[in-house]
Structure formats: structure tokens, C-alpha cells
Amino acid sequence: MGYEDTGRDRSVEPSSGVPVAVLENVFDDPTHGEPGRDRVGVHMLWEFLLLVGLAALGWLLWRADPDTLRGAGLRTLLVGAVGLGLLALAAGLSLRTAVPNLAVGPVAVAAALHYAEQGDRGLATSVGSAVVVAAVGGLVLALAVVVLQVPAWAASLAAAAGVVVYIERRSTSILVQGDYDPRRTAGYLFAGFAAVAVLGGLFGTIRSIRRLVGRYRPVADPARRRGALAAVVAAIALVGSTVLAALAGVLLAANGPGAVTPTSGLDWTVLAIGVSLLGGTSAYGRRGGVFGTVLAVGLVTVFQAYAPERDWTVSQWALGGVALGVGLLVTRLVETFGRPRPGHVEKIEPVGDGTISTGWNVPRQQSADNWPPTLPTPLAPESADPWRDPRWETGPRRWDADDR
């Protein structure tokens, strides 16, 4: 029966001597993985520090200008946080799947310019066309990355250059033509962004999902293909990040009566990636926290509102550069203290064969390190039977000869 030979057809991983079926349950990558589960304690500690920093900065902003945190000021602040948050989600999605998308900033600026020009045609028409163009552009980028097996940062940088060419066709600022005001639903927008970010982080802590999302992460030669499933996940991430960037641009354009200025948008890319790294997402892919993106977005948004109260002139390039620098240090901490403990192998429980099984399982194979296996203790020799004569067994039998 099937359960009688379950342990005989398991291939052995040459580097570890562990059956592949066990590797798939223990390792994040069955071929080049590390034994054990990732540790999330470093993410919890860092997110606690972000929460303390956000509370302290929010208290300073409240003392400097209480109107910023209530009424219309609070609604404008929340919409700005959602716009930056969508950009951070776009960057974080591409980072966790190991295909960093450097075109998110220019895509957001291009979408903002498009909405400013076409907003009077209706929200569904203007935003829908921007989303469709972003999805098609993200699909082209994804095909270039997964088919040619080229670095995503280089391919997305080339895509960003093409989007900048589109932006440079506008020489002056453009007033927003639409009448959509996201501040009327600022609370719902922020709640939706926070829910998506937190749920995404929670799903990312599940071992199988994390392994699936980070499958495109290089483990040996980065030019080697990682398989069809990894390519599909990377393509979906690139398309999704491009669409999120377009939605972020629409929100940022609609947040306030000001005009949209045509810029390269690369400063938005630096800020988005910096905020994502600051929230605990690893620059290498796969690893990330739960509440880190929401807290990092809140921290940067509150600082942007607090700096003018202190007459500080902080450019977006400087803010993005600082966030990116601190985020790289966080990546080092995450990769150092978030990986499984050295020498730890998760204990695998024996698996039965369903409801008809009563616990009959094939004994586990002994590790190759313990070869040769320990021989069983020999039994004591039996005492000789005086009534048994060896002649009757070794000599010829007369009835056999007669039968012939």
C-alpha cells in the first residue's frame, strides 16, 4: 500500500542529506534555503521604535499647530498619507518580490498630470484610462524582466526614462480640471490603505506565502532563471506596483486646489523606496514586517507637516535620501537577526495516511552523518537441544530417494 513505502522514494538533497519532502516543509527555498523559520522579533522591535517616534513627532506637531491634526487640516494630512502610502506599497510590493520598480515615481507624476488634464471628463474615465495605461506599461516591463531575465532595477529605470519623456512634454503646471475631492472620504481612504498594508504584512508572515512571494529572490547566480512560478509572481508584482503608483498620483493631484507641476518624479521613487525600507522591508526581498509601512508613512507625513512649523526647508530629495539611508541599515538588521537561528531545524511530525490510519508510519531514515548505523544488540545464543540430531537435517532423506 501507499503508506508502506512513503519514505523510499524521497530524493536526498546533496548539500544537507535531508529528504526533499522535509526540505519543502522546513526551508523557505527547498534548494538553497535555510533550516527553520524567519524570526519576526526584530520587526516587532523596530515597529515599536517607529510607533514611539510617530507618537513623539505627533505630539510636537500638536504643540506647534493643533489645527493640522483636526478638521480640514487632518483630512488633508490623511489624504497625503494615503498617496505616499500607495507609493510605499508599490515600492514594497516590488521589493518583497525581489523586482524593485524604480518607475513608480515617474508613473505617479504622469498619472497626476493626466488626471489634471482629463479630470473634467469624469472620475471613472480619467482614472480608468490612467490605470489601464499603467497596467499595460507594467506588463511590458514585467515581460522584459522575466523573459530576458534582466535586473528589474535596470529595466524599470529604462521605463522611468520613457515616462519622463512623456512628462517633459508639459512645460508648465496644470490646474486640476476635475471636481473630485478625496478629503471628503479621507478617513475611509486611510482606513483602506492601513487595512491593505497590515493584511499584506500578516499574509507575508505565513511561511508558504513568504516563500512564494520571495521565490524570485536570487540565491546563487542572479542571472539564472528561477522558474515559471517565480516569473509569474514577479510579473504580477510589477504590474500591481505600477497600478498602485498611478492611483497614488491621482490622489496626490486631487488633494488640494494647487496645480500639478511636471517633474521627473524620481524624487518620489527615492522617497517611496526609502519609506518602504524604513518600514522594515528588506532590500533583498521576501522579508518584511506587519505594521512597519503604515508607521513609516505616518512618521514621514507628520514630519513633512512639522518641518514648516519650525521654518525648516527640507527638500523631498533630502528626506528620501535620509529615509533610504536609514532603511538600508534596517535591511541589514532584518537580514542579520530575522533569518532562522543557526543550527536550528524545525521538528517535523510524522504524517499518517488519513482517517484509515492508526499511526502506522515508516520509520525515519537515519541521517547520512551517522553511517554506519548502530547495529542491534545480538540476542543470546539458544541452548542446544539434546533431542535434536544434526544428522537428520544434513543427511539424505530416504523417502525423497524412494519418490524419485
Q: Taking the alpha carbons of 162, 168, 170, 173 in that order, is the dihedral positive or negative?
A: positive
- pLDDT tens per residue across span 147-204: 999 999 999 999 999 999 999 998 888 888 888 889 999 999 999 999 999 999 999 8
- If 0-12 CB within 10 Å is exposed, 13-18 middle and 19+ buried, where does residue 354 land? exposed
- Centre a 10 Å sphere on the Cβ of residue 369 and count the other Cβ atoms it contains: 6
DSSP string computed for 312-340: ----HHHHHHHHHHHHHHHHHHHHHHSSP
| Opening angle at CA 135, ends 134 and 139, nearest 5 | 115
- Which secondary-structure segment (H or E) carries 254? helix 228-254
Residue that has been written with the C-alpha cell 514585467 in this structure: 142
pLDDT given at position 26: 39
**Helix residue spans in 338-397 (DSSP H):** 391-394
Say what the pLDDT of residue 326 is. 96
Q: How far apart are CA 132 and CA 160, in angstroms?
A: 17
Residue 94: CB atoms within 10 Å: 32
Q: Which of 193, 183, 184, 181 is nearest to 296 (CA)?
A: 193
CA distance 18 to 12: 6
Instruction: Count other Cβ atoms within 10 Å, centred on residue 134.
Output: 27
Residue with cell 492601513: 194
- Residue 372, pLDDT score: 53
Tell me which residues of the chain have a pLDDT lower than 70.
1-37, 342-404
- Report the pLDDT value the prediction gives residue 221, as an integer from 0 to 100: 77
pLDDT of residue 257: 76
Residue 278's pLDDT is what? 96
- Which residue from 359, 222, 231, 338 is spatially nearest to 286, judged by alpha carbons? 338
pTM (2 decimals)?
0.77
Predicted pLDDT at 136: 97
